[in-house]
């Protein structure tokens, strides 16, 4: 009876043929997709509660309520027979992507980790440990902002008009703001990683402060609703995180210069040479050239 072929031992450095890489990528993508589907199915049972939570920032009024004509609230609506079911699917998929994030993030990490050096693995763990809280903090700011921004948007309604707001539109705005705030809070992490990789120094980063403050203000004005509070709520923390990243980069540059004085030099600068004269040691005795030395004909 023929014996089953044994699997070749894994390379400790993670090296494998291209076909093995593709097979591993397929397997990890399958596990990630399956985890998203499973969590999405579970999330479908709570989709209505999640929709109520996401639409809670909208000041809701009944149809014909005088407060709606005074532009203080809106009427939630879902247009079409398939709109409620489509919204359920979107909410379930969103829950699946967020809830299964530890699984697919681990699959991504397990695929690239064998090709990383030890220092790169250390930095990548720090990225996950710091990046996730920063992203969650940004999404919290977005959800805190919505109840204050939506009444400002409703105030632009026409006089004696009743504003009908679709649930899909509220979900789109909520997700868009959450992603914008979450990714904006990742800016300092990106700058610190560039500094750790030797791409930019802390002094150079700090010299950008005028353009960075202006750029953050323009981005905040473009991504947030029309009121000033929304813009300030995004600009102030992101600007503070930028200066915090500059401080971390400056301290890292000082530490690097203490360990290696030539670490801060550019490619065009020459390192400092130690030209201090040293005493010459005593002369060494040369063996007789006719006699072999260590099995060789001469001392050379």
Q: 3-state class of 208 per DSSP?
A: coil
Q: How far apart are CA 91 and CA 43, in angstroms?
A: 8
pLDDT on residue 83? 81
- Euclidean distance between CA atoms 210 and 205, whole angstroms: 11
- Indicate the pTM of the whole model: 0.64
Q: CB of 181 within 8 A of CB of 234?
A: yes
* E strands in the chain: 75-77, 164-166
Q: Is 90 exposed, middle or buried (0-12, 13-18, 19+ CB in 10 A)?
A: middle
pLDDT at 299: 52
Angle, vertex CA 58, rays to CA 73 and CA 136, nearest 5? 155
Residues with pLDDT less than 50, the chain? 1, 5, 267-269
User: What does the H/E/C string look like for 93-131?
Assistant: HHHHHHHCHHHHHHHHHHHHHHHCCHHHHHHHHHHHHHH
Please answer whether residues 73 and 155 qualify as being in contact, where contact means their C-beta atoms are separated by less than 8 angstroms: no
Residues in contact with 114: Cβ distance below 8 Å, sequence separation at least 6, in sequence order: 13, 14
Helix, strand, coil percentages (3-state) for the chain, rounded to 5, are 65, 5, 35
**CA distance between the termini of the chain:** 65
pLDDT tens-digit readout, 36-69? 899 999 988 888 888 888 888 787 776 656 655 5
pLDDT at 119: 63
Q: How far is CA 150 from CA 56, 76, 94, 145, 190, in A?
A: 11, 13, 22, 9, 31
Backbone φ and ψ for 123, nearest 5 degrees, come out as -65, -40
How far is the CA of 31 from the CAs of 4, 94, 101, 110, 158, in angstroms?
26, 18, 12, 12, 51
């Amino acid at each position: 009876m023929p014996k089953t072929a044994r699997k070749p031992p894994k390379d400790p450095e993670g090296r494998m043929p291209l076909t093995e890489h593709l097979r591993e990528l397929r397997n990890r993508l399958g596990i990630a997709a399956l985890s998203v589907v499973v969590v999405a199915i579970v999330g479908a049972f709570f989709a209505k509660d999640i929709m109520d939570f996401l639409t809670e920032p909208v000041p809701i009024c009944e149809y014909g309520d005088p407060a709606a004509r005074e532009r203080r609230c809106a009427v939630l609506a879902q247009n079409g027979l398939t709109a409620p079911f489509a919204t359920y699917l979107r909410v379930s998929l969103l829950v699946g992507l967020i809830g299964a994030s530890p699984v697919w993030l681990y699959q991504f990490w397990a695929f690239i980790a064998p090709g990383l050096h030890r220092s790169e693995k250390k930095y990548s763990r720090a990225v996950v440990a710091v990046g996730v809280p920063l992203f969650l903090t940004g999404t919290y700011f977005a959800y805190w902002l919505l109840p204050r921004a939506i009444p400002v948007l409703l105030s632009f309604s026409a006089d004696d008009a009743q504003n009908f707001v679709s649930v899909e539109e509220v979900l789109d705005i909520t997700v868009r703001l959450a992603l914008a705030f979450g990714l904006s809070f990742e800016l300092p992490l990106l700058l610190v990683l560039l500094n750790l990789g030797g791409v930019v120094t802390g002094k150079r980063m700090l010299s950008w402060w005028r353009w960075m403050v202006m750029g953050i203000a323009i981005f905040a004005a473009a991504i947030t609703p029309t009121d000033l509070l929304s813009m300030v709520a995004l600009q102030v923390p992101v600007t503070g995180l930028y200066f915090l990243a500059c401080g971390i980069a400056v301290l890292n540059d000082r530490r690097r210069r203490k360990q290696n004085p030539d670490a801060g030099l550019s490619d065009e600068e020459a390192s400092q040479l130690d030209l201090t004269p040293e005493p010459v040691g005593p002369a060494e005795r040369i063996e007789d050239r006719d006699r072999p030395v260590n099995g060789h004909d001469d001392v050379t």
